[in-house]
Structure 1
């Protein structure tokens, strides 16, 4: 079981779920688009039961009390600052960082820019941004898979995604994620300003730069049926890690690895953290 709480950090107040004793080894988990901290509910509960202190928080734009209005406020520099601010508020000088999707992008940047704060990094779905960028330039398949990104930056994206009861958002999950979870994500995003804030992560891309290679011990997990990340980007991720590296493929699993292969992924996490 996990507890719900708010974390008052220097960059905002963030909603979070937590499990485990406060003195346990700290693990911070970052969700992706268009989910929430509850996407990690299974992992948080199991990690906490195993004696770790697991915390997943609704990131900038997803937490109502941390939802600035300007696109520039969602550049990766600010998202990384949130990670460190939340860790500081929790009293964590060093911690393990886990991210899925866009949360993995934030995790890669954090690991590259602040290796002194991290014990390990685990990235699910999204490889190192350098690997993805290179694949988009050299691999036609990856270029096709990334065509959804400009669509998410369009001014009309909110209207399109929320039309017909959020049909387009539901389609993102295919049949891979339980309907009650999807209903919860859509209810959150239907709040005034919530979807705009989530989409501003993509609209702020023009301020972002690629992170350097990562020296922090890294685990990268990729689902072979991920429609957004192809094999070229996934298999080249290790080229961007100069430290200890482990790559795991989830056969016949989509982008939504934390929900679709929850037990398997949690087992990998526990092994990596040990």
Structure 2
């Protein structure tokens, strides 16, 4: 399958690997798209796993509804359920990075019957993140989330000068010039950056709909040079998982784990899937 629909929205999908392989859903973060998992997916295919990597809501050109309410976490998780339904899958292994990891945490907590295992890259459980805001330097690390609540200004700042600021952030975070340019060009598509930022702008709407305890086998990867996510929330995450849980710390690696460490990610995901499939 190369696409699926939900409520009139059309989502682009990269479906690869053996059709009868254990299914793994790959969920990207900001400001990426399914290309962030290309190298990981290629390696997973080599181990006999099938992957489904979607350009999520706001990123697929055919799925960019207006208004921040359209980007509440309940909508984002419902999109993944629609992907599973379209692929005729009762459940799948879920791997998410950055915002895709938040979707993964919520999906595993709210719909455990659809999630065989969870692998969260970089992001802690949302409840651990919330606690870390008042017990560590996490609020300082997350300063940009406040900026992104403002209308118009973040778009102008990030895309000024043909996307120079966004490009600089991506390059200094370790991404290749090719991938950095790809992500900048995607965010320059009509309406793309605003709908990607709508994920952040919808956060106040999610405050009364917390993500609860996760009860599926969970693998959590965190990298020590992550500029946005600190150690405190990472280490508190295990308190919100009532199932086999493993934390893997990647030393010296920046935030963009799928692109920068595809061999290690694929190795750990394959091991996790085989152990709990």
Aligned partners of 1:105 and 1:129 also within 8 Å = yes
Please give the alpha-carbon distance, in whole angstroms, between the structure 2 residues aligned to 1:187 and 1:29: 21
Partner of 2:238: 238
Structure 1 runs of 4+ aligned residues shifted over 4 Å read none
Map 1:73-92 → 2, pairs under 5 A: 73-92=70-89
**RMSD of the TM alignment (CA)?**
1.2
Take 2:157 and 2:214, find their aligned partners in 1: how far apart are those partners? 37
- 1:154 maps onto 2:160 in alignment: no
Worse overlay, 173-182 or 231-240: 173-182
1:254 aligns to what? 254
CA positional deviation for 1:6: 2.1
Superposition TM-score, scaled by structure 1 size = 0.96
Count of aligned positions: 270
- Mapped contact 2:32–2:183 kept (Cα < 8 A): yes
Aligned twin of 2:102: 105
Taking structure 1 as reference, are residues 255 and 262 closer, same or farther at Cα in structure 2, changes over 3 Å only? same
Matching residue of 1:222: 222
Q: CA deviation at 1:14?
A: 1.0
The TM-score normalised by the length of structure 2 is 0.94
Corresponding position of 2:198: 200
**Counterpart mapping for 1:48-87 below 5 A:** 48-87=45-84
Unpaired stretches in structure 1, ≥5 consecutive residues:
none
User: C-alpha offsets along residues 179-209 of structure 1, whole Å, 9 cap, x if unaligned?
Assistant: 1111111111101111000000000111113
* Cα distance in structure 1, aligned partners of 2:9 and 2:95: 21
Query: Greater CA deviation, 6-15 or 99-108?
Result: 6-15
SS of residue matched to 1:201: helix
After superposition, residues 155-170 of structure 1 pair within 5 angstroms as: 155=151, 156-170=153-167
Q: Say which SS state the counterpart of residue 67 (structure 1) adopts.
A: coil
Q: Which runs of 5+ in 2 are unaligned?
A: none
Instruction: Answer with 221-230 or 167-176: which moved more.
Output: 167-176
Instruction: Report which stretch shifted further, 175-184 or 113-122.
Output: 175-184
2:152 is aligned with 1:145: no
Question: After superposition, where does 1:107-146 map in structure 2 within 5 Å?
Answer: 107-139=104-136, 141-146=137-142
* Preserved contact between residue 59 and residue 196 of structure 2 (Cα < 8 Å): yes
Residue 213 of structure 1 is matched in structure 2 by: 213
> C-alpha separation between the residues in 2 aligned to 1:172 and 1:72?
28
Q: Kindly indicate whether the alpha-carbon contact (under 8 Å) linking 2:173 and 2:256 is maintained by their aligned counterparts in 1.
A: no
Tell me if the contact between 1:11 and 1:82 (Cα under 8 Å) persists in the aligned partners: no
Cα 1:12–1:22 shift into 2, 3 Å: farther
